[in-house]
Amino acid sequence: MPRATRLAAVALGLLALLPLQPRAAQQKVELVNGIGLIDYSQKPHFKVGDWVRYHVTGSSETGMHDDYEVTVLIGGEERFWGEDCFWVETWTEPASGGGRAVATLMSYAIFDDSLPVPHLQLYARKMISEVSDDGRPVQNVMKRPTGSLTSRKPIGERVSMKVDTVGSDTVSVPPGLFQCKKVSMQQGIATTVDVGDSSLRTEVRENRLIYRTPEIPITAVAREDIEYSIMRKVWKIGHSEEGPMRTMERSIGSARLTERGQNGHPQLVPEYARKALVSSAPKAAPRPGPPKARAVKRRTG
């Protein structure tokens, strides 16, 4: 996904997927992967064909603007390498026209993880972002980076996260009026590198205010407000207290639910997977009924 000002695209849950070094050249958001939008805090409350659509807007102090729609669809289910998985297909449609799609196969095991967002990469099994010349989806198996197999540090350990409930509020969006719980999420990451006789520290911060309700499938989000910033500090080695922290980039954005529905039709998910899995669990044996009453013979004279 192009970094751009990142605006709401990252704030919709993709912080853990992407490196956080700022790009020299800013670009508009062209593609969002919706696996970070899924509500993993409870058991799956969606079925194949369910979909939600959000209108995302944002602007930065450097003059960049974003305006696009993101549709997240549960495109199917597949048993892959012995795991039950579900396909998440995401369509990103800029207001200026055009659009792109991506589909990712996610393991249902992620719903049992206590830190699902930092560990998103561990549960992605396959990805489709293009089709072949004959129109068939090109599936790429997701592999962990080689270094992560030998590192003792857990994935996402550098990302700090603070989540807190800050009350409730009523949110009005096109699909209706929802009573929501307000959740504050603060995420951040910092890196320090030595360049010559100086040190460079970069801090990336993201503050999100999320309006959540279980009435909305897949994401449980009616609205989300986002603030994103990049700050940098340079100092001579051994004089870390002297350099000021400067704001390099700051952007704000919002995402609002515009539509939701059922029986959606995926564009990239393979035909064979566009259906719900049939449970392979053995059927339970019928429970025995109550014992039959024994007939009692009556004695005659």
pLDDT, mean of residues 48-60 = 94
- Give tens-digit pLDDT for 147-164: 655 555 555 556 677 889
Is the separation of the CB atoms in 52 and 32 below 8 Å?
no
- Give tens-digit pLDDT for 235-259: 877 666 667 888 888 899 999 999 9
Cα separations in angstroms, 1 against 49, 280, 297: 25, 37, 84
Side chain identity at residue 41, one-letter code: S
Tell me how crowded residue 169 is: count the other CB atoms within 10 A of its CB.
Answer: 14
pLDDT at 274 over 50: yes
Q: Report the distance separating Cα 30 and Cα 93, nearest Å.
A: 8
Is the separation of the CB atoms in 105 and 87 below 8 Å?
yes
Q: Report the distance separating Cα 98 and Cα 297, nearest Å.
A: 86
Q: Which of 27-31, 85-89, 210-214 has the lowest mean pLDDT?
A: 27-31
In this prediction, residue 66 carries a pLDDT of 87
Q: Which of 47-61, 72-86, 153-167, 184-198 has the lowest mean pLDDT?
A: 153-167
Side chain identity at residue 153, one-letter code: K
pLDDT at 43 over 60: yes
Tokens 């206590």 identify what position?
114
Cα separations in angstroms, 166 against 159, 173, 204: 22, 20, 23
Q: Report the distance separating Cα 233 and Cα 247, nearest Å.
A: 9
Q: Taking the complete model, does pTM exceed 0.85, yes or no?
A: no
**Structure token digits, residue 139:** 């599936």
Q: Report the distance separating Cα 43 and Cα 272, nearest Å.
A: 25
Question: What 3-state class would DSSP assign to 110?
Answer: helix
